[in-house]
């Protein structure tokens, strides 16, 4: 692995992405070709979609560049296009002017083994990393850059781009990696070295936790913003499990279905009251969580040794203190009283609310405002739907937008 630093000055600025201020035309840039608008009649393919860290925006990597969208309401904020090709990875840093970009295979100037740290305010590249193999994922924090290769993860300091940590992983072609985003904690989750294992690094506490989450390969996982809870799914796609990242204990298990499915996205609501998941079966499921995190200040001190106060209840009779009065619970099978006698799925917790979508299209999910779920698809579709937090059931569509249209594509 090799990396080169173009500059370490001015990485953090106060401008927001999509600012109307003129770019600094005198700034040096590693882009050998200027970003410019393409002909609207040219065909555009969608290569990737990803949320920013607070799920208020999403980025779309296209065959000609990238576009940034606001979620509520869905609206294109800005786009950057270039003639040499597109980007397969576009990682935002909240709503600021910094992005991480990785070129698509067809990009003639920016290969898939290079990460560009792009400052859109200055309209130039402020740093780059070049690797011997293709980059599978990039994650950003305000103080760290994390680059994911198929068998290794590199953690860099944001201010000077110095390498801080290297982590070996099992084969990770999906580029799975999650970060916490509270300034007082730095938690990283990634595949471990064994099938079904997730490795959790609490860098501030110098603690590594290995969680044997599933018997099959890990397909998807996510962390809460504070990094205290981890939700995981395997390639079987039937069960989603929630873990305490401090001690590795399993707190809850919910069931998406009985048949195999590919889980594309998992989201946890900010209040840790709900979990949403999308799969190739064409249904977004929302589950009620009975896990609560109390005392967020319990990890505000860097030298604190005690873990967060996580509460886990198995008995439905003890849910009342943990679930607000207007919140429902996941349905169980009518035969759940025979737990331990009948097959496991009879005692499973099933989804509380559902929303149906086209099958086989990858969708990513996030929670919006007022009990809503935001859904973005690789077919260029955007949905906002709401669910009844008391009765659950079928969610109600509130908004639908085609954020990227494919009219020019031959049929």
Question: Quick one: how far is CA 58 from the chain centroid?
Answer: 10
Name the nearest CA neighbour of 124 among 2, 39, 9: 9
pTM for this predicted structure:
0.81
d(CA 155, CA 144): 7
Q: What is the pLDDT of residue 347?
A: 58
d(CA 157, CA 165): 9
In the chain, how many H helices and how many E strands? 0, 32
How do strand 57-62 and strand 46-51 relate by DSSP bridges? Answer: antiparallel
d(CA 81, CA 219): 32
- How many residues appear in the chain? 411
Ordered strands of the 144-148 beta sheet: 137-140, 144-148, 152-157, 163-168
How do strand 207-212 and strand 197-202 relate by DSSP bridges? Answer: antiparallel
d(CA 77, CA 93): 15
pLDDT in tens, the chain (411 residues): 444 444 434 444 434 544 323 222 222 333 434 455 455 556 889 999 999 999 999 999 999 999 999 999 999 998 998 888 899 999 999 999 999 999 998 887 889 999 999 998 888 899 999 999 999 999 999 999 999 999 999 999 999 999 999 999 999 999 999 999 998 899 999 999 999 999 999 999 999 999 999 999 999 999 999 999 999 999 999 999 999 999 999 999 999 988 999 999 999 999 999 999 999 999 999 999 988 655 444 443 333 333 344 444 333 333 333 333 445 666 664 444 444 544 455 557 899 999 999 988 999 999 999 899 999 999 999 999 999 999 999 999 999 999 998 644 443
Q: What is the pLDDT of residue 405?
A: 81
Helix (H, G, I), strand (E, B) or coil at 297: helix
Q: What is the pLDDT of residue 357?
A: 95
**CA angle centred on 350, ends 243 and 194, rounded to 5°:** 35
The structure tokens 């979990």 sit at: 275
């Amino acid at each position: 692995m090799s990396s080169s630093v173009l500059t370490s000055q001015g990485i953090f600025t106060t401008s927001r992405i999509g600012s109307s201020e003129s770019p600094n035309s005198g700034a040096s840039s590693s882009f050998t070709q200027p970003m410019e608008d393409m002909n609207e009649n040219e065909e555009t393919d969608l290569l990737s979609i990803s949320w920013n860290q607070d799920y208020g925006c999403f980025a779309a990597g296209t065959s000609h560049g990238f576009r940034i969208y606001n979620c509520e309401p869905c609206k294109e904020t800005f786009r950057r296009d270039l003639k040499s090709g597109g980007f397969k990875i576009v990682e935002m840093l909240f709503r600021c002017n910094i992005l991480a970009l990785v070129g698509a295979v067809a990009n003639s100037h920016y290969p898939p083994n290079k990460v560009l740290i792009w400052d859109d305010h200055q309209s130039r590249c402020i740093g780059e990393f070049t690797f011997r193999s293709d980059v599978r994922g990039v994650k950003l924090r305000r103080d760290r850059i994390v680059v994911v290769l198929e068998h290794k993860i590199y953690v860099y300091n944001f201010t000077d781009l110095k390498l801080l940590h290297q982590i070996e992983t099992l084969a990770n072609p999906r580029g799975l990696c999650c970060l916490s985003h509270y300034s007082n904690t730095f938690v990283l989750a990634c595949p471990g070295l064994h099938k079904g294992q997730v490795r959790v690094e609490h860098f501030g506490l110098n603690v590594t936790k290995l969680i044997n989450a599933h018997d099959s390969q890990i397909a998807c996982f996510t962390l809460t913003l504070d990094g205290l809870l981890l939700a995981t799914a395997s390639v079987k796609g039937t069960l989603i499990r929630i873990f305490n990242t401090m001690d590795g204990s399993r707190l809850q298990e919910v069931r998406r279905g009985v048949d195999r499915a590919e889980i594309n996205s998992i989201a946890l609501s900010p209040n840790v009251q709900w979990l949403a998941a999308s799969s190739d079966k064409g249904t977004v499921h929302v589950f009620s969580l009975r896990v609560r995190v109390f005392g967020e200040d319990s990890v505000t001190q860097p030298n604190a040794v005690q873990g967060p106060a996580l509460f886990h209840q198995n008995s439905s009779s003890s849910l009342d203190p943990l679930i607000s009065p207007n919140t429902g619970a996941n349905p169980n099978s009518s035969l759940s009283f025979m737990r331990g006698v009948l097959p496991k799925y009879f005692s499973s917790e099933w989804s509380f609310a559902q929303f149906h979508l086209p099958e086989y299209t990858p969708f990513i999910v996030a929670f919006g405002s007022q009990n809503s779920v935001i859904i973005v698809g690789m077919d260029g579709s955007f949905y906002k739907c709401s669910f009844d937090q008391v009765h659950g059931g079928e969610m109600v569509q509130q908004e639908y937008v085609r954020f990227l249209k494919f009219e020019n594509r031959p049929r």
